[in-house]
Each structure stands twice: as structure tokens, then as C-alpha cells.
Amino acid sequence: MTLKQLQQKVDHWINTIGVKYFDEKTNTLILNEEVGEFSSLVARIYGQQSFKEDISIEEQKEQLNSELADILFVVVCLANQMDIDLEEAMKHTFDKKSIRDKDRHLNNPKLK
């Protein structure tokens, strides 16, 4: 699925099942909430925090997948609301990073 197709699919879902988009402020707050949920999982799976109850590696992976997809869903909602073509935006981001960081990471002794 392309980013354009993803944007269309999210828009279709919002307008049929979700009824309408939440406003941009609400979606931005929801995005922060979703990032927090993902961060909490990362702290427990890769960091020093522990789960209240042990969960299997498979369930950890499922939860990470779900939370990351939730983040992407809200990002796509915001892009749709703000009339941002994510494919075009990503192309510009790669161009910008490729010029700006052309030698930066190659010359970083911390990455050797």
C-alpha cells in the first residue's frame, strides 16, 4: 500500500465508520497519547521497567505493532486534515536529509 492509498483508506474509514475527523487539536493530543502508549511499551520491553504481569514475546510484538499503527493512523488523519500529501512530504524529507546529512553520519565516530 502506498502512502497515498493509506491516506485514501483512512479518509474513507473516517467518513464512513468514524463519522468525521476530530479537530486538529484533538488529533494532536490523541497522537501524544498514542506515542505515550508506545513509549510505555518500549520502556518495558527494551528499557528497565517491567510489566505488571509477564506477557509473551509474541504479545509484546503484537502490542508494539498495534501502538505503532495507532500512531501512523493519527498522523495520516492529521495529514488529511491539513491537506498534506505524505508521499510528497516524505520525498522532500529524504531530499533534505540526503543533502544535509550527506557526510554527517559517515564522519560520526560514535557510529563506528
Catalogue all structural domains in the chain, each as residue range(s) with its CATH number: 3-84 (1.10.287.1080)
| CB contact at 8 A, 39 and 86 | no
- pLDDT tens profile 69-112: 999 999 999 999 999 999 999 999 999 999 998 888 888 889 88
Can you tell me the distance from the alpha carbon of 76 to that of 38, in angstroms, rounded to the nearest whole number?
Answer: 17
Report which of 17, 2, 26, 4 is spatially closest to residue 78, judged by C-alpha positions.
26
Q: How far apart are the first and last CA of the chain?
A: 35
Can you tell me the distance from the alpha carbon of 73 to that of 7, in angstroms, rounded to the nearest whole number?
Answer: 9
pTM to 2 decimals?
0.90
